Amino acid sequence: MRTALRSLPVSPYPVPAGTAIRAHFVSEAKPKEDGWQPWIGGTWSKWVQGTVLGYRDFAGREAMVSPFMVPNPVALDTAAKELSNFKIAWDV
């Protein structure tokens, strides 16, 4: 009998600026820099360490993220939709 594939826990809250993170980059062509490994379907991948510097909206303006969101089912769904409008600045 097959069991359901369990997803990793993901928080809808953004991490604070200064948090160390790892990012997975994928390229269709092999980049010239070192550290890239063959991946799925002829692509190349690389894990990179970085630090969250802050958040910006799609216009490139600095965005402030509310640190005091109240966790309840309705707020979580709304927060996830609102946070999808932000991009993370990478320091790599």
Return the pLDDT at 13: 75
pLDDT score of 45: 96
Whole-number Å distance between alpha carbons of 10 and 45: 22
Structural domain count of the chain: 1
φ, ψ at 75 (rounded to 5°): -65, -40
Residue range of the domain that includes 38: 20-88
Please indicate, yes or no, if residue 4 is contained in any of the structural domains. no
Domain presence at residue 37? yes
Query: Could you tell me if 23 and 92 are in contact, meaning their C-beta atoms sit under 8 angstroms apart?
Result: yes
Q: Which residues of the chain have pLDDT under 50?
A: 70-80, 83-92
pLDDT score recorded for residue 85: 46
Indicate whether 53 belongs to any domain. Answer: yes
